Amino acid sequence: MDHLIAGGFFLQEAVEILEKTLISRALERSEGNRSAASKALGIHRNTLQKKMLEFKMDGAQPKRKPVRRVKAARSRAAAS
């Protein structure tokens, strides 16, 4: 640990490096499955997603739920 202090590392930088490494390895082991990776890390999936965005890690874009087409069909049927 003395080498980190002597090298000018701040605590926050060391924590970020550790978090990035742990997240990367958990994602590798889970073959990219974010839910499984978050369970292995003991954090919520949303927290994992937030950390991935914060660290600008690959594949960190939040996935959006598909738009339900049933609602639009109901609206058209009600208008008729």
| Secondary structure of the chain as H, E, C letters | CHHHHHCCCCHHHHHHHHHHHHHHHHHHHCCCCHHHHHHHHCCCHHHHHHHHHHCCCCCCCCCCCCCCHHHHHHHHHHHC
Residue at 13 is within a domain: yes
Predicted pLDDT at 76? 64
Number of compact structural domains in the chain: 1
Residue by residue, pLDDT tens for the chain (80 residues) are: 777 678 777 888 889 999 999 999 999 999 999 999 999 999 999 999 999 999 999 776 656 667 777 665 566 666 65
Predicted TM-score (pTM) of this structure: 0.66
Residue at 77 is within a domain: no
Domain CATH code at residue 6: 1.10.10.60
Predicted pLDDT at 54? 92
Q: Domain range for residue 46?
A: 2-62
Predicted pLDDT at 7? 78
